[in-house]
Homo-oligomer: A and B are copies of this chain.
Amino acid sequence: MARTAGSNGTRTLEAIRKAGLRLIYRQGYEAMSLRQLASEVGIQVGSLYNHISTKQDLLFDLIRVHMEELIARLDRALEGFDSPADRLDAFIRFHVEYHIARKREVFISYSELRSLEPKNYDVIVELRGRYERRLIDILDEGVAHEDFTTADTTVAAFGILAMLTGVCTWFKPGGRLSKDEVIEVYSGMIRDGLVRPGAGFTPDRLLPRPPAGAVPGA
């Protein structure tokens, strides 16, 4: 007899994915044991294998599904915004909101990359590249329209992504700043930088250099 959706089996798998996500987030993939996972789900360790094929596959699945959804939802979030500036703003808002809402998926997608077997690693890195590409394209377009200015859109994109992604390591809902305020701070920085127009740096000044010995081996 065919199982109806929401059958025990489907529900158990969902419970495994959920508990697995939580445990990997909290302890790391290597440090999570399947015994622990099974006990969180409330089944015996052998029963896990009715739902997953290996521990590695569970990790891969969690990350892959997350990456695919990330991309799909980004595309939806960018719909209807045409100018590079608006698209950048939409990207920033989406990225931050998504990374706050799904902080665990996001975190393990970064931190457990090295726990992926080479074949799986490659798949995820390709997906990540696709996501990054969306931002780089926005920046390239902006530079082409002379809306943005940067010496290197790829490096700039990496910088923006790192900055925004960092949010999910420290943001606490109900904390000092609301989500929207955080987005506002970051949007402002990315758009206009820190320096008040007219103040601060002279455009062509030499960059200050650290004294000898500050940086090891430098």
User: Which residues of A are in contact with B by a Cβ distance under 8 Å?
Assistant: 26-28, 30-31, 69, 73-74, 76-77, 79-81, 84-86, 88-90, 93-94, 97-98, 101-102, 111, 114-115, 139, 142, 146-152, 155-156, 158-167, 169-170, 177, 181-197, 199-201, 207-211, 213-218
Q: Pick the residue among B28, B89, B147 that contacts A115 (CB under 8 A).
A: B28
Query: In angstroms, how far is the closest chain B Cβ from the Cβ of A161?
Result: 7
Is there contact, CB below 8 Å, between B86 and A208? Answer: yes
A27, A84, A94, most chain B CB atoms within 10 A: A94
Query: In angstroms, how far is the closest chain B Cβ from the Cβ of A202?
Result: 9
Query: In angstroms, how far is the closest chain B Cβ from the Cβ of A46?
Result: 11
A101, A190, A194, most chain B CB atoms within 10 A: A194
